[in-house]
Amino acid sequence: MFILERQQRIIEIIKKRKCATVSYLSRELYASEATIRRDLVEMQKRNMIKRVRGGAALIEGISSDEPLLVRMNRDREKKEYIARLALRYVSNGATLFMDPSSTVTVLASHLGEYD
């Protein structure tokens, strides 16, 4: 499981349970307790969760998603590269289904550019 997938699952678990221990998260996500602790440290730095003794809790009143502008500027060059590649597969008059991700937002900003 990728880091971001694991961290998203941690958020989902904590939203459902309000808090979770490191050992519980370790069992649920099939990851070592050390890996879970590292994830929790990183997630706390990004104000996604609050670490508590032995686990983590959701910060009440704060969204678990970073603002779109922050996400769009992280790895901007990679997002631009992905958008340019994706544009090759978009034809005039095509119907596209898009999610609200930062990478898709970059792609959408380039849609009028293809030939």
Tell me the per-residue pLDDT of 40-66, one tens digit each, with 9 for 90 and over: 999 999 888 999 999 999 876 545 556
Question: Could you give the 3-state DSSP secondary structure of residue 51?
Answer: strand
In this predicted structure, the answer to whether residue 27 has a pLDDT above a threshold of 90 is yes
- The position carrying tokens 């979770």 is 20
**Third-level CATH fold of 3-58:** Arc Repressor Mutant, subunit A (1.10.10)
| pLDDT-based confidence at residue 68 (cuts at 50, 70, 90) | low
- Residue 112: the pLDDT is 78
Least Cα distance to 25 among 6, 2, 1, 49 occurs for: 6
Q: How much of the chain, in percent, has pLDDT values that exceed 90?
A: 37
- The structural domains of the chain, with segments of one domain joined by +, span 3-58, 68-113
Tell me the per-residue pLDDT of 78-87, one tens digit each, with 9 for 90 and over: 989 999 999 8
| Contact in structure between 7 and 19 (CB atoms under 8 Å) | no
Q: Please give the C-alpha separations between residue 95 and each of 91, 98, 99, in angstroms, as whole numbers.
A: 9, 10, 13
